[in-house]
Amino acid sequence: MAPADIQAIRSHTFTLYLTAKGGSLEQAQKVLNLGCGLLHAGGLAVIVENTGKAHTSHDWLALAAAKNETAIYHAFVTLVGGDNRYYSSGMHNLGLRDAIVTGNLTAEDAARLLETFLLYMLIEKPALSDGHTFSETQDSQYYRLNGVPCSTYPGGHRFFNPFGMWQLERTHRNNSTHTYLN
């Protein structure tokens, strides 16, 4: 956020909370639209409390106007990581599992992998199962998918994903079902 936006938020006099049922793209778009109403009524910014992701008024309005999966993803999902552990938070808002990858990856490589996988899952809606493999391209590193319970936050925490997570583990090419992006 720009310094002027941060200063305006610091000097705000009240906060409005919008509580809504999530769990699908349609519900997420409705929340985007409701947030626009609050911003048009004088709101300064939006924070998605169950991911900790903040947006300026300008950014939120642009995401809502786009009306597509990529914009919804950017509104409600954030990437977290460090110490060779990287994961997403917020896919429960869209009714899907988050993803986690561990290992010797740079933060940039981990972010690209997670975002590519999550957007693929969100847009293409593939039928994924434990043991399937995924790679960004035919020649890039393969990752085996394992569905696991959410391990990044305890049950009851606002960031907890009840749908679980896809754990991406490095693997070699094999004969299991494989998906990659062209």
**Per-residue pLDDT, 182:** 40
**Per-residue pLDDT, 6:** 74
- How much is the pTM? 0.87
**Per-residue pLDDT, 166:** 98
Q: Tell me the domain boundaries of the chain.
A: 3-73, 79-180
Tens digit of pLDDT at every position of the chain (182 positions): 778 777 777 776 666 677 777 789 999 999 999 999 999 998 888 889 899 898 999 999 999 999 999 999 999 999 999 889 999 999 999 999 999 999 999 999 999 999 999 999 999 999 999 999 999 988 889 999 999 999 999 999 999 999 999 999 999 876 556 665 54
**Per-residue pLDDT, 179:** 62
Q: Which residues, 6+ apart, have CB-to-CB distance to 78 below 8 Å?
A: 51, 52, 53, 88, 89, 90
| Segment (H or E) for 23 | none
Of 121, 124, 162, nearest in space to 145 by CA: 121
